[in-house]
């Protein structure tokens, strides 16, 4: 585990031992929290799994739901959350569960838990990935490095050879390539990832079809009354890196496609990646202009009354796969703590 995550774990332990989350929930003006989830899988992640942060166990998801309710927190839909934010009084605390990307495991492992617990949730859908033609590139990068003992990477006109025999080497190369791609224009990233995958016989389209629900599976998932479908663009590009009209098109077309498939236009959108480098005021304004009721980021924090005035820039708290200890759930459920920590880190 990196020094960053070691420090976060130590902070979680200290918060839990101090009983501070209970006091903060009682006295803060935070009204609720939106949880971010991605994958729900019963398998223990492999030793080298940089994307394990995106994966929680079904039993942990079930415990989070049960514990949140035991804390006196209502689990509600995103639409009701917006109504509670606009209410004159604080009222009971609430939580909203959201899932990004439409992974198949959500259908197989998450949905039975959500049904059993009668837990409403929102699923944000990147439509090209459901078509089976997008790139789940962050997972592809992990998969390729897992099975290689060395990789060749083009740097300008030069070829750089990077050792990936040990776990530490794999992690170092993953971090190097991941952040290099994150900083690229999206068209260049797609080109680089496609070429890199082809060099090692990795089929990105097949991987997408294997990981992401197709339309028939998504239709089954969306037929669940507990489910609210939201937009997550077409190609899962970082919108802030796109020209204005392309960013607008990504948002509009995703909503148009979901409308055509399900007969109802999504009222909510999640910005892919969702941090400050991926979505900012321009994207928040676009979401508002395009008629979405809300837009969610991955900026950490709780929900306050003032968010009723900025519903297209809502913070969320990630149920991080590296922190699945049951004692941490009280920390996750305390949105105000993440708001304060976000300000410290800003």
CA pair distance 75, 70, nearest whole angstrom:
11
How do residues 129-173 score in pLDDT, each as one tens digit? 999 999 999 999 999 999 999 999 987 778 899 999 999 999 999
CA pair distance 346, 341, nearest whole angstrom:
9
**Residue 47, both tokens:** 């030793």
Quote the pTM value. Answer: 0.95
Which segments within the chain are labelled E, that is strand? 32-37, 39-40, 55-56, 74-75, 94-100, 121-125, 150-155, 158-163, 227-231, 268-270, 294-296, 317-318
Domain spans in the chain, listed from the N-terminal domain onward: 3-12+32-134+212-345, 137-206
How do residues 314-346 score in pLDDT, each as one tens digit? 999 999 999 999 999 999 999 999 998 766 444
**Residue 227, both tokens:** 């489910």
> Which of 11-15, 144-148, 277-281, 302-306 comes out lowest in average pLDDT?
11-15
- % of the chain residues with pLDDT over 70: 98
How do residues 200-233 score in pLDDT, each as one tens digit? 999 999 999 999 999 999 999 999 999 999 999 9
CA pair distance 146, 325, nearest whole angstrom:
26
**Residue 86, both tokens:** 């606009």
* Strands 268-270 and 39-40, sheet pairing: unpaired
Res. 50 pLDDT band, cuts 50 70 90: very high
- CATH superfamily for domain 3-12+32-134+212-345: Glycoside hydrolase/deacetylase (3.20.20.370)
CA atoms within 13 A on the CB side of 142: 15
Region 284-296: mean pLDDT is 98
């Amino acid at each position: 585990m990196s020094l960053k995550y070691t420090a976060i774990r130590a902070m979680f332990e200290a918060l839990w031992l101090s009983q501070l989350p209970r006091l903060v929930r009682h006295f803060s003006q935070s009204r609720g929290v939106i949880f971010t989830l991605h994958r729900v899988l019963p398998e223990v992640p492999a030793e080298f799994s940089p994307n394990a942060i995106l994966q929680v166990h079904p039993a942990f998801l079930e415990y989070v739901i049960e514990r949140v309710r035991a804390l006196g927190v209502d689990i509600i839909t995103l639409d009701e959350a917006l109504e509670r934010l606009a209410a004159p009084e604080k009222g009971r605390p609430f939580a909203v569960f959201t899932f990004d990307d439409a992974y198949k495991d959500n259908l197989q492992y998450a949905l039975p838990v959500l049904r059993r617990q009668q837990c409403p949730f929102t699923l944000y859908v990147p439509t090209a990935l459901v078509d089976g033609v997008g790139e789940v590139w962050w997972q592809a990068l992990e998969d390729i490095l897992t099975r290689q003992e060395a990789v060749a990477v083009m740097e300008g006109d030069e070829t750089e050879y990077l050792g990936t025999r040990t776990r530490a080497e794999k992690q170092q190369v993953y971090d190097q390539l991941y952040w290099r791609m994150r900083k690229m224009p999206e068209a260049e990233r797609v080109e680089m990832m496609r070429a890199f995958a082809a060099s090692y016989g990795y089929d990105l389209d097949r991987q997408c079809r294997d990981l992401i629900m197709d339309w028939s599976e998504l239709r089954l998932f969306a037929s669940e009354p507990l489910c609210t479908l939201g937009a997550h663009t077409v190609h899962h590009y970082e919108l802030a890196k796109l020209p204005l009209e392309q960013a607008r098109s990504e948002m509009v077309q995703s909503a148009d496609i979901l409308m055509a498939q399900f007969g109802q236009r999504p009222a909510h959108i999640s910005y892919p990646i969702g941090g400050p480098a991926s979505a900012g005021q321009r994207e928040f304004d676009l979401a508002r202009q395009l008629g979405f009721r809300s837009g969610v980021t991955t900026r950490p924090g709780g929900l306050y009354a003032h968010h009723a005035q900025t519903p297209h820039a809502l913070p969320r708290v990630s149920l991080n796969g590296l922190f699945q200890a049951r004692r941490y759930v009280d920390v996750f459920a305390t949105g105000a703590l993440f708001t304060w920590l976000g300000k410290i880190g800003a």
